[in-house]
Amino acid sequence: MEKRKTVLIFIIKCIAIPAAAISILFLLNLPYREIDDAKYMDMWNLRMLGNQINEVEIANVGSSHGAYDFIYDGLTEDGYSCFNFGSVSQTYQYDLALLQEYGSHLDEGCIMFIPVSYFSFNNETVNETEAQALSVKYYHCLSPKNIPDYDLYTDIVTTRLPILSAGEDLLKLLPSFSLSLKAFAAEDNPEGGMDEAAVAEFANRAAMRYDRHFNNKENLFLPEREEQLLSLIDYCQKHGLTPVLITTPFSSYYNAQVSEEFLDRFYGTINRISSDTDVSYYDYSHDKRFQENLTYFSDSDHLNAEGAAYFMEIIAEEVPELRAALGE
């Protein structure tokens, strides 16, 4: 009898302890999901597309140069439906995945700006770990069929039970704990000009940005990146969109880091793609209206809000495809 009792207690413990652990896990997962979702707020905005009354007429894809350099406030105030699909370090592969997911919300003939940056044909991420970390955000806005190299485990720990991959972020559940996060790509630029120290710091950060984009990269022109861009253009053309290739403004400090040899190959590549696909290419990388005016930049190669608004005014006047869409 005593032996049976011991066995029964053992069985109860074997069931109760895991059950309690699982219950605690699920209880912690509920508040943590709110914290985790906040990290991917830019991706959640994609889900708002379904609530738009009008189909999108003007849009862009792209990495951070797309995310930060295209601001449509002026056009939306004039009644145009616009959307920014850009996100930090986003590749052409994910640009295409987003259009495949949300293409039904795009108007026939929608202008689709495709930014072409100096690093567009290589891996902007510095290692596989960083690339994996960046890909996780797409599990919040893409269905499995449109996620490149979809992984069920990643889906579970990303969208269903993010508490399993929380790591030190678990500390954010403590009410007394706070962590100050600094944006990776863009910071506000001092208004009203910059003194010598600020300019020197700006130049130093330009060198750091260049190092991230170019140093320790085995090949700056990967064939698969070009193929991904061609696939993106092909999708746009086959689905009635109007793709427009564009390089956004960079500061002179960023441009100074880039060699003539690289630029020759870069422009040779993009001009060939433009010609082969019959898609227009517009280059604002060295535009004098921006290059020396640092008050338009948040860092050496990203526009701030003022600069992005001015950039939109310029391309609305100078890009024929956009002028036509605006009825001018």
Classify the C-alpha dihedral 79-81-86-87 as positive or negative: positive
Structure confidence at residue 198 (pLDDT):
72
Question: Confidence band (pLDDT; 50, 70, 90) for 235?
Answer: very high
Summarised one tens digit per residue, pLDDT across range 135-187 is 888 887 898 999 888 887 777 766 665 554 554 554 444 554 443 333 333 44
21 pLDDT higher than 50: no
Lowest model confidence (mean pLDDT) among 5-19, 243-257, 308-322 = 5-19
- Which among 28-37, 43-52, 246-255, 291-300 has the top mean pLDDT? 246-255
Structure confidence at residue 182 (pLDDT):
37
**Amino acid at the residue 192:** G
> What angle do helix axes 223-238 and 92-102 make, rounded to 10 degrees?
20
Structure confidence at residue 279 (pLDDT):
98
The DSSP secondary structure of 219-271, one letter per residue, reads -SS-HHHHHHHHHHHHHHHHTT-EEEEEE----HHHHTTS-HHHHHHHHHHHH
Distance CA 301, CA 13 (A): 60
CA-wise closest residue to 302 among 209, 220, 225: 209
Whole-structure pTM value = 0.80
Distance CA 68, CA 62 (A): 10
What DSSP state is assigned to residue 315? H
If one counts every other C-beta atom within 10 angstroms of the C-beta of residue 19, the result is 10
Higher pLDDT, 217 or 256: 256
Contacts of 58 (CB under 8 A, 6+ apart): 72, 75, 80, 81, 82, 83, 110, 111, 322, 325
Structure confidence at residue 186 (pLDDT):
41
Going by their DSSP bridges, the two strands 242-247 and 106-115 should be labelled as: parallel
Question: Confidence band (pLDDT; 50, 70, 90) for 266?
Answer: very high
Span 206-226, mean pLDDT? 83
Q: What is the mean pLDDT of the chain?
A: 80
Structure confidence at residue 197 (pLDDT):
74
Higher pLDDT, 50 or 141: 141
Residue 86 tokens, joined: 């850009």
In this structure, are residues 170 and 36 in contact, taking their beta carbons and an 8 Å threshold? no
Structure confidence at residue 50 (pLDDT):
61
Domains of the chain: 40-167+192-325 (3.40.50.1110)
- Which among 13-27, 183-197, 220-234 has the top mean pLDDT? 220-234
Distance CA 81, CA 90 (A): 23
Lowest model confidence (mean pLDDT) among 107-116, 184-193, 209-218 = 184-193
192 pLDDT higher than 50: no
For the chain, the C-alpha Rg in angstroms (whole number) is 24
In this structure, are residues 11 and 36 in contact, taking their beta carbons and an 8 Å threshold? no
> What angle do helix axes 260-277 and 223-238 make, rounded to 10 degrees?
30
Lowest model confidence (mean pLDDT) among 60-64, 188-192, 193-197, 260-264 = 188-192
Higher pLDDT, 26 or 246: 246
Higher pLDDT, 139 or 276: 276
Distance CA 58, CA 185 (A): 24
Residue 130 three-state SS: helix
Q: What is the CB-side half-sphere exposure of residue 81 using CA atoms within 13 A?
A: 16
